[in-house]
Amino acid sequence: MRREYMRGSLIGCTLRSNTPALRPLSAQAIATSCSDIDYIGKSLCVNKNDITALLGGDLANNPIFLQAVQEKFNELVGTSSGYLEGLPQQIQDRIAVLRHLQYKKDDLDEEFNNELKQLEAKYNAMYQPLFDQRTSIVTGAVDPTPEAIESAKKEAKEREDDGEEEQEGAEKKEAPPKTEEKGVPEFWLTTLQHAEEFEELITEEDAEALKYLRDVQFRDIEGGPSFELEFFFDENPFFTNSSLKKSYILEDNPSRGPMYDHIEPAIIQWKDGKNLVTEKVTKTIPGKVMRGGKKGASRKETQEVEKASFFHFFNPRVTSEEEERYEEVMGADYDLGVTLKKEIIPNAYYYFTGENSLQAEEFGMEGGEEEGEEEEADGDDEEYNSDEDADFDPASAPPAQECKQQ
């Protein structure tokens, strides 16, 4: 079954926006959030069982009421429940020491995150020349020299494991004749199709557009933790953009590390009739029943509706019907962005060749073998039956233990 990437289609991480004060509330969200409280503010007092019913009336569309609830939630953020203050003093003193220990741990977390950030920046700078060379070869800007090709083949042979060396005598297929084609055609399309997170999102129509994808890059924004992904395209029949840039804006929490805040989407300028994320559907609207029971003429109405597409990735949105699943949808999108940055872009070669899948399968097989060995070991514990053993010598058997009567 195809996993469609449309609004509300995936599940991901918990977002910063789970705090009530951080995102404006809709009537639906208020009905959900208020289900466990007995009153809102001092002037407005309602029972928690009645609030949903109230919102079904005029209050659901009353901006003053919605603003009052939002302001109350803003006041509640970070306030104490009074539990700690009600504990005996000696317990409060012990908790104060626990707080001190937690602060010490937070300081170490901050130190760790700072060092990690510096280490990532150092190695990203070292990776970049390799990525630039990869782009030059993939796009056909340069061709590797014969010396570089020979050196690469020699290194690959040296890195082969024992299992691959045993297959050296196997018959090798002859390579097709040379062509004038430059670079590595459809490198990034194939890479994304071999990535488990994206393979089911790419439709046949998407694949035609992604054939023009020439490079994918990530960059940290102002030293991080925010980052941007940029997809570079050759001129194509689908959209006019030469690149699509999507930014993930994160907050740098010293002790907890980066926290997702929001995205800055890429707006695709589709060419006429080439929009891959929506389609026009014509529906027949039945005519109204007139006086006397006579039915009016039906009419046709054309509507633009969304359809499954990889290109929703560049501008994921949440409809009002999916308000309750906002965190799931945007969390899933964040997971996709991090996977591109941390895994797919740095290791594109492994995804292009499919070696990423082979490595996963080998890991699974190893786990299966271990499980089989455990099952086999369990089988050795079966009860021994001397009557079935022709070589059994009764004299060599240990004496049977007597059963003591209680």
Residue 163's pLDDT band (cuts 50, 70, 90): very low
Tell me the mean pLDDT in the region 57-79.
Answer: 67
**Token duo for residue 297:** 């003429």
Is residue 1 over pLDDT 60? no
Range in 146-155, 159-168, 176-185 with the lowest mean pLDDT: 159-168
| pLDDT in the model for residue 57 | 55
**Alpha carbon distances (Å) from 233 to 107, 113, 230, 238, 266:** 44, 35, 10, 11, 14
Per-residue pLDDT band at 342 (split at 50, 70, 90): very high
Tokens of 41: 């503010």
pLDDT for 388 equals 53
State how far Cα 48 lies from the chain centre.
36
Residue 406 has pLDDT above 60, yes or no: no
Q: pLDDT tens digits, residue range 324-339? A: 788 888 889 999 999 9
Whose tokens are 């990735």? That residue is 313
CATH top-level class of 1-14+184-287+297-365: alpha beta
Task: Calculate the CA dihedral of residues 158, 163, 168, 173 and round it to 10 degrees.
Answer: -110
Task: Identify the residue whose tokens are 């090798």.
Answer: 172
- Give 109 or 299, the one with higher predicted confidence: 109
Which residues are registered as beta bridge partners of 257?
Answer: 253
Spatial CB neighbours of 151, under 8 Å, sequence gap ≥ 6: none
Q: Which tens digit of pLDDT belongs to each residue from 87-123? A: 999 999 999 999 999 999 999 999 998 899 899 989 9
Report the chain's mean pLDDT, rounded to a whole number. Answer: 77
What pLDDT is attached to residue 304?
86
Q: Which pLDDT value is given to residue 299?
A: 80
Asked if 286 contacts 298 with a C-beta cutoff of 8 angstroms, the reply is yes
Closest CA to 72 of 15, 134, 114, 30: 30
Nearest to 210 by CA among 226, 230, 234, 245: 234
State residue 278's pLDDT score. Answer: 92
Q: How confident is the model at residue 73 (pLDDT cuts 50, 70, 90)?
A: low
Where in the chain are the domains? 1-14+184-287+297-365, 88-143
Flag whether pLDDT at 145 surpasses 80: yes
Residue 50 makes CB contacts below 8 A (sequence gap 6+) with none
The full DSSP string for 172-184 is PPPPPPP-S--S-
Band (pLDDT 50/70/90 cuts) for residue 7 is: very low
Determine what percent of the chain falls in helix, strand and coil, rounding each to the nearest 5: 50, 15, 35
Give the pLDDT of residue 291.
73
Pairwise CA distance, residues 273 & 238, whole Å: 8
DSSP label of 239: B
pLDDT confidence of residue 27: 44
